[in-house]
Chain A
Amino acid sequence: MAAENELQVHAEDAGIAGRAARAAIAEVQRIEAKYSRYRPESVVSRINAAAGKDAVAIDEETARLLDFADACWRQSDGAFDPTSGILRRAWRFDVARVPLEAELAPLLGLIGWDRVERDAAAIRLPQAGMELDFGGFGKEYAVDRAATVLAEHGIASAFANLAGDIAILGEQPGAEPWQVGIRHPREKDGLIARLPVASGGMATSGDYERFVVVDGMRHCHILDPRTGHSARGLQSVTVHATSCIVAGSATTIAMLKGAIDGMAWLEALGLPYFCVSEDGTVAHTFR
């Protein structure tokens, strides 16, 4: 996780806060090591290495995360797909270039969560070259686990932020809510809104995190596994939920569904959300 991460913990004394914070950070590091595709010994790397071969045994934590990913896949009509990570081989956001259909076609052939064979104890990717990627929810899960570990240490006031994925345990001392800034999609270092949050998980997906502009059209890192192309219609979506993993998947699914379907889906979800449409106007705000 190479982005800016921050943990603020309030407690009666610095010792308690320090111990809780260290435990939370250790938990985040554990999850990163377990599910990072950059580490050859991680669970994800072992599953990917066995693609087209044998099933790999998984523990309860991994099984439940995959159940959650499955629920997201169903709720998004296939837009949210944990096997879509291989599209990054065609999309290099350091070069302003749209990949050709001929480059995307073989990768699309390797995507398909519905083809993955799994049960509560094991998982198998049926075709060599298929890849499982926890990037769509790994960070969100880590920040939720950090908040959980802090709560287990008796902390009632904390703010955890992993590169924009946020979990808040309770207000700051003095009953002051935490001020959460929502990045402005087009102004670097600017905020488009500030929301006082007392508790909950928040995440934002935007078309500004990694993107290229080709012939006046923006292509961002949120790629639709059904077409191989960039999500379109919204500049950013922020959702406030009871956990960051729910907030994060909701924002990703909304971005993939686009302006009309995405907002309709968010309305049906019933969670508070904030979104900026393609033209830069705030299409929906909290409350």
Chain B
Amino acid sequence: MAALLKAALALPVLALPARAGAIESGEVGLNILGYKERGLMRVTEPVAWGRVELADGWEVKGSAAVDIVTGASPELVTNVSGKPVQVITGASVDDRRTIWDLKVSKRLGEWTLGVSGARSSEEDYLSRAYGLEVKRDLNDRNTTLTAGFGRAADRVRSHDDPTLDEPRDTREYLVGLTQVISPVTVVQTSLQWGRGEGYYNDPYRHTLTFYPEPSVPAFAVDTRPDHRNTFAWITRYRHHVASHNGTFQAEYRFYRDDWGIHAHTAEIAWSQGVGGVWTLRPALRYYTQSQADFYTPLIPQPQPAILSSDQRLAAFGGLSPSLRAQYQHPGGWRFEGTIGYIENASRFHAGGGGSEFFETLRAYYAIVGVSRTF
């Protein structure tokens, strides 16, 4: 054998070192999320995920996670102190949620078809979902059109009320376009509609409002409409700056639903390659939402049939900086970590006008992950 190679050396051609990566057929990884809200709950969530390409254009993706929530969530909004505040009434909760999802897709020429299934279960909430997706490549794979449909059938229960067992059914529709604009720029934009029906109340929340007169306080359990129609427009942008070995990433989402909520989400990030194996990605995310029509921390008189004091339905804004670091070993191992801080506050609401009694949320989170391509 050496004779063949030796004879080649006598030729007036360069010997090019034969260097190649592996034929990548998949990757698996494990991530752990830690989340802590100032003074309140902690969440730890280990997630195992994987993706594998099989023969003939088949691909399988899946993940399994366990959400472990400890600590308490405020369940009551009361103005007994003079202004409405969130109060923790119940005992500290130790909740465990298991989630898994699986997606199988097949490429047929310029088409890709995908089917997915997902299940999330905890003691008081069960969700089973499936999805269908079709993609079509056009223009020499410069353009991809996507259409998707998803359906989730949920059941809501309560540890406080064993008789509660209500369904919630959601259908989602998606159309999307991914377009390569230049050798260094690509854009993706999608429209997503949701139609939901069923039980939307939070079984653990209530509102207690005291009035100067009459002296009898009003009490309301969290009651929301029995339907929710949502619309979201998401646009993502990527632009690589070769001279700096970095990529600019931006994302914007417009959201509107028939509960009266409008929200805008914008995130910008810069992914900087350092030394060929490291990547650092600082990011800043801004969020603003208007309040739901039926949101109120104080029960008005006469008491409406539908109201909620859940401040996730209030008008507020949020800022969240984060930093991700990634180490990609040429052998296929990747180590990554993200740290982030979230502050949701009334004063961050775009254009002022955030909900008056919104209690500022401050939370930290960190995600560490390890993965391997094979």
Contact = CB atoms under 8 A, between A and B. Distances in A.
Contact of A245 (B8, B22, B273, B276): B8
Contacts of B6: 71
A72 to B, nearest CB: 6
Interface string A36-70: 00000000000000000000000001001101101
A154 interface: no
A249 B23 CA distance: 23
Contacts of A246: 4-5, 8
Interface in A80-120: none
B19 A200 contact: yes
A16 to B, nearest CB: 16
Contacts of B17: 199-200, 242
Interface string B250-284: 00000000000000000000000100100000000
A167 interface: yes
A243 interface: yes
A145 B13 contact: yes
B216 interface: no
A147 B17 CA distance: 13
Interface in B1-24: 1, 3-8, 10-24
A200 B242 contact: no
Contacts of B19: 197-200
B23 A195 contact: yes
Interface stretch (A215-223, A254-262, A267-275): A267-275
B23 A145 contact: no
A204 to B, nearest CB: 14
A193 B57 CA distance: 10
B237 to A, nearest CB: 19
Contact of A68 (B1, B8, B24): B8
A11 B273 CA distance: 20
B245 interface: yes
Contacts of A61: 12
A169 interface: yes
A253 B17 CA distance: 22
B12 A199 contact: no
Contact of A168 (B15, B16, B22, B23): B16
Interface in B205-251: 240, 242, 245
Given A70-B7, A285-B23, A270 B1 contact: yes
Contacts of B18: 199-201, 240-242, 271-272
B327 to A, nearest CB: 15
Given A175-B276, A200-B20, A75 B12 contact: no
Interface in A198-243: 198-201, 240-243
Interface residues of B, number: 28
A144 interface: yes
Contact of B14 (A147, A198, A241, A272): A147
* Binding site secondary structure of chain B: loop
B13 A147 contact: yes
B201 to A, nearest CB: 51
A33 B88 CA distance: 87
A145 B18 CA distance: 16
Contacts of A65: 11
B12 A145 contact: yes
Interface string A166-200: 01110001110100000000000000011111111
A118 B24 CA distance: 47
A249 B192 CA distance: 54
A68 B21 contact: no
A70 B3 CA distance: 10
Nearest to A179: B21
Contacts of A270: 1
Given A196-B24, A197-B20, A286-B23, A67 B13 contact: no
B13 A249 contact: no
A75 B3 contact: yes
Given A71-B6, A200-B17, A64 B11 contact: yes
A148 interface: yes
Contact of A72 (B4, B20, B24, B240): B4
Nearest to A177: B21
A151 interface: yes
Contacts of B22: 286-287
Contacts of B240: 174
A196 B21 contact: yes
A144 B13 contact: yes
B15 A242 contact: yes
Nearest to A198: B19
B28 to A, nearest CB: 17
Which 3 pairs from chain A and chain B are nearest by CB? A200-B18, A71-B7, A196-B21
Given A71-B7, A145-B12, A282-B55, 18 more contacts: A67-B7, A151-B14, A173-B242, A174-B242, A174-B273, A177-B20, A196-B20, A198-B19, A199-B16, A199-B19, A201-B18, A242-B18, A245-B8, A245-B13, A246-B8, A249-B4, A286-B22, A287-B23
Interface of A: 61, 64-65, 67-68, 70-72, 74-75, 141, 144-145, 147-148, 151, 167-169, 173-175, 177, 193-201, 240-243, 245-246, 249-250, 268-272, 274, 282, 285-287
9 contacts: A195-B20, A198-B20, A240-B18, A242-B8, A242-B18, A249-B4, A286-B23, A287-B22, A287-B23
